[in-house]
């Protein structure tokens, strides 16, 4: 599944606002690594207007250009490329309706954030404790003691 993200709509949401920087270029440098490393989702972010994203981020960023806004760009992209295996991320109700009218799927920014967190928790397990410095025997002993303490054994 690929997420097509309404860039400024997502970045103006309080959940993602910390990634919004002074320039579009800096914003791209801020949000893309998070989505690659932490969220680990297949995505493209669509921004209004035109700017030159850093070369290493080009495959993740699309610009609407000067003749259309990001919403129209997203809808036209879905019409051109198809809606299969794509989900649009936006809180813009009108864009959500336009996407659904052409057979596509749309979710809110909050739902996207929730999906990222659920996937991250599954990936990391219930514990995010770094056990790299603990030898296997000590890990097994800790596990045994915890099981005994919580009556799992």
Higher-scoring residue by pLDDT: 96, 123: 96
User: Is 135 inside any structural domain?
Assistant: no
Structure tokens at 126: 């219930």
Look at residue 86 in the predicted model and tell me its pLDDT: 96
User: Is 88 inside any structural domain?
Assistant: yes
Where residue 108 sits, what CATH number does that domain have? 3.40.50
Residue 63 in this model has a pLDDT that exceeds 60: yes
Domain that holds residue 110: 2-128
Look at residue 152 in the predicted model and tell me its pLDDT: 66
Look at residue 90 in the predicted model and tell me its pLDDT: 96
The residue with tokens 């919004």 is: 20
Look at residue 122 in the predicted model and tell me its pLDDT: 79
User: Is 30 inside any structural domain?
Assistant: yes
Least confident of 55-64, 101-110, 122-131: 122-131
Q: How far is residue 121's CA from residue 115's CA, in Å, rounded to a whole number?
A: 10
- pTM equals 0.77
Q: How far is residue 138's CA from residue 125's CA, in Å, rounded to a whole number?
A: 19
Sequence-distant (≥ 6) Cβ neighbours of residue 74 within 8 angstroms = 4, 6, 46, 88, 90, 95, 99
**How large is the average pLDDT for residues 47-76?**
88
User: Is 37 inside any structural domain?
Assistant: yes
User: Is 138 inside any structural domain?
Assistant: no
Least confident of 38-52, 65-79, 98-112: 38-52
User: Is 140 inside any structural domain?
Assistant: no
Structure tokens at 147: 């099981």
User: Is 119 inside any structural domain?
Assistant: yes
The string of pLDDT tens digits covering residues 11-56 is 888 888 888 888 878 888 889 988 888 778 889 999 988 877 778 8
The closest of 126, 122, 128, 86 to 107, measured between CA atoms, is 86
Look at residue 79 in the predicted model and tell me its pLDDT: 97
The total number of structural domains that make up the chain: 1
Q: Is 113 helix (H, G, I), strand (E, B) or coil?
A: helix
User: Is 134 inside any structural domain?
Assistant: no
The residue with tokens 């989900």 is: 87
């Amino acid at each position: 599944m690929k997420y097509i993200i309404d860039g400024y709509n997502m970045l103006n949401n309080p959940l993602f606002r910390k990634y919004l920087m002074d320039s579009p270029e800096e914003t791209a440098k801020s949000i893309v690594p998070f989505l690659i490393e932490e969220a680990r989702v297949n995505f493209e972010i669509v921004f209004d207007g035109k700017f030159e994203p850093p070369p290493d981020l080009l495959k993740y960023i699309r610009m609407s250009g000067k003749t259309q806004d990001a919403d129209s760009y997203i809808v036209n992209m879905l019409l051109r490329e198809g809606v299969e295996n794509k989900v649009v991320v936006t809180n813009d109700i009108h864009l959500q309706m336009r996407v659904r009218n052409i057979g596509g799927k749309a979710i809110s920014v909050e739902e996207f954030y929730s999906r990222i967190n659920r996937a991250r928790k599954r990936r990391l397990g219930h514990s995010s404790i770094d056990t790299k410095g603990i030898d296997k025997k000590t890990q097994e002993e800790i596990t045994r003691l915890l099981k005994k303490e919580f009556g799992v054994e």
